[in-house]
């Protein structure tokens, strides 16, 4: 998919999504800064900023100064009766755009529909890339004790549980994640 997710500091991440091309009109590659908040059964991701890159038209129309966005995503997980890790993703996206002059001739309902479809496409790419990166990170964490220790928050004590996946009752660590 080509999306890249990097931790910038603490619980702040930068997600760069490959450009989406709208032939003859615009190429857009969003860079989203977000914060992740972890709880026992979920992770909440809150979009902080979104900068569009790609076509010269973005700068010419000052498109990055013409919209407000609100993105909230919640990832939940559980282990099902078969011992499989199951993850769900719920996202809410709201975007308000002051269209540049060149787009004002397009009727507002058409512009709204186009904007909604662009956001859906971008969100699908973002979610798929994030889930894939999360699965890779989890598998590395599960298999590599040194990596697992490096990811432990400062001051948190390690639980003594034996080898990951080797003892009964460790199903939450032993479950192999699968995309559905």
Question: Which residue, among 55, 61, 47, 54, has the nearest Cα to 95 in the 3D structure?
Answer: 47
Q: How many folded domains does the chain comprise?
A: 1
Q: What is the CATH number of the domain that holds 98?
A: 3.30.530
pLDDT, one tens digit per residue, over 19-73 is 878 787 778 888 889 998 888 888 898 989 889 888 888 888 888 898 888 889 8
**Domain for residue 180, yes or no?**
no
Q: How far apart are CA 77 and CA 96, in angstroms?
A: 31
Which residue range(s) make up the domain with 83? 4-155+162-174
**Domain for residue 84, yes or no?**
yes
Outline where 45-107 has alpha helix (H). 56-60
pLDDT, residue 74, reads 92
Instruction: Report residue 174's pLDDT band, with 50, 70 and 90 as the boundaries.
Output: very low
**Domain for residue 25, yes or no?**
yes
pLDDT, one tens digit per residue, over 86-116 is 888 888 888 787 887 877 788 888 877 877 7
Q: Is the pLDDT assigned to residue 179 strictly greater than 80?
A: no
Q: Is the pLDDT assigned to residue 4 strictly greater than 70?
A: yes
Q: Which residue has the higher pLDDT, 170 or 153?
A: 153
């Amino acid at each position: 998919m080509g999306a890249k997710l990097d931790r910038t500091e603490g619980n702040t991440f930068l997600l760069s999504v490959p450009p989406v091309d709208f032939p003859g009109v615009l190429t857009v590659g969003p860079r989203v800064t977000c914060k992740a908040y972890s709880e026992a059964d979920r992770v909440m991701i809150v979009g902080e900023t979104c900068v569009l890159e790609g076509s010269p038209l973005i700068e010419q129309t000052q498109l990055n100064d013409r919209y407000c966005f609100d993105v909230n995503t919640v990832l939940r997980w559980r282990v099902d009766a078969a011992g499989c890790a199951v993850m769900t993703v719920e996202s809410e996206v709201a975007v308000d755009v002051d269209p540049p002059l060149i787009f004002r001739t397009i009727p507002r309902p058409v512009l709204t529909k186009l904007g909604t479809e662009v956001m859906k496409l971008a969100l699908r790419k973002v979610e798929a890339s994030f889930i894939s990166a999360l699965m890779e990170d989890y598998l590395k964490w599960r298999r590599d004790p040194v990596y697992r220790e490096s990811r432990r928050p400062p001051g948190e004590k390690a639980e003594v549980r034996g080898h990951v996946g080797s003892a009964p009752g460790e199903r939450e660590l032993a479950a192999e994640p699968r995309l559905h």
